[in-house]
Structure 1
């Protein structure tokens, strides 16, 4: 571990301790801010470490715990106001992820928390990768993407690991956890946006073929009927 990496980790320590104390005192907003500041320092240190290094793997375990803590607090600490309700009719087009989530991505975005019980089938995994492909280039300061999904998705550990390594090459950490109890589908962006959808990311119909409009351009892919609520969180 280099000297600069050690210094970053040393600096993160007291900030994270203060975050824990703030959380215990019920100062959730301040705790969130400090957790994120500490996580940013740890992420900066890990970016310069080899992906398979023992130091990085050891740090990643603690890093994951702090990221999970932030995700839990983000889910609990939100008061939203509706900005837009998008009603998607069956077989309609023009509803790509860029149109839905593009406004939620900017240089203030550090973390994205996806909660969706159904990221298990192949097409659902592909949709999640498409979502990541949209968010990463639009959010130049993005540090972390988390996914909380159902137990059935545990069979996709190899696929999630492949995605994790790909994101790490872009400086983005990926954390996935599995649950038997989640039902709601929502995505929380830590810059204030919240998107709730009855079908989560899985609102596109299967393509009619390999060589048809909509095979690759999701704006031209027919959709299932669903309602998407785009909200702004009061902070």
Structure 2
């Protein structure tokens, strides 16, 4: 058969995942998969230039998936404008593949200039490391990022020193980290000033400890097993500012 069977197989896998996410009403994730799958399908379509029957079949599949992707895109935009968008993700205990990039990455763009994090448990060393990982993602994905605001609980020990070091490092990238403390805080959410609000039941600390410093998952959070938690995603044109409480 003429064409690129590798591209076809990859497209089929990604588009299958898109349909699964679509069925689960995880629409923003589904849309990303539809777009990636369609790109792969178009590559396969170009490679099948000598087989008109195969080209017709792939073109029909592409049109069907493209139609669904366009519908989802409009649906998401309409729900955002109406202030009704809500998406729920269940992270199963011991599952992998839930790094901050996977959970948050699709919402990070050039329109994000400020990120507000409300999490009572950014206190111990590994919890501040979680904030560091998130900060790396934000700096790498949001080219116009100016500030990160953290509201968390106060802990005796070296919490302040660790956060000060992160603050100095972010300043080198022209990002200001402001930290405030609360003894009554219980909410856990991340607010982006492009309107997206992500509430994670366990906050940033939903990963299980790695088995060792030289075990898979120590550096790559996609390979690190997770605790069970729920992620709720909303969109609002008016993002509440915790710094104005």
TM bucket (normalised to shorter chain) is 0.5 to 0.7
Measure, in 1, the Cα distance between the counterparts of 2:156 and 2:113: 25
Tell me how far 1:220 sits from its aligned partner. 0.8
Corresponding residue for 2:187?
Answer: 184
Distance, in Å, in 1 between the alignment partners of 2:83 and 2:199 is 11
Match of 2:171 among 162, 168, 171: 168
In the TM superposition, residue 135 of structure 1 has moved relative to its aligned partner by: 0.6
How many corresponding residue pairs?
A: 157
- Structure 1 residues without counterparts, runs of 5 or longer: 1-78
Question: Is residue 112–residue 188 contact of structure 1 (8 Å, CA) maintained in 2?
Answer: yes
Counterpart CA distance in 2 for 1:80 and 1:135 is 24
Q: Distance in 2 between matches of 1:154 and 1:117?
A: 16
Task: Give the distance between the partners of 1:160 and 1:107, measured in 2 at CA.
Answer: 25
Matches for 1:103-114 after TM superposition, within 5 Å:
103-114=106-117
Bigger Rg over Cα: 2
> Is the 1:85–1:230 Cα contact (8 Å) retained in structure 2?
yes
Looking at secondary structure, tell me which structure has more strand per residue.
1
Answering whether residue 94 of structure 2 is matched by residue 91 of structure 1, we say yes
Structure 1 ranges of 4+ moved more than 6 A: none
Gaps of 5+ in 2: 1-81, 239-245
By how many angstroms is 1:153 displaced?
6.5
Q: Give how far 1:230 is off.
A: 1.4
Equivalence for 1:140: 143
Map of 2:206 onto structure 1: 203
Once superposed, what is the RMSD of the aligned Cα atoms?
A: 1.6
CA distance in 2, matches of 1:117, 1:100: 20
Question: Counterpart of 2:223?
Answer: 220
Secondary structure of the residue aligned to 2:84 is strand
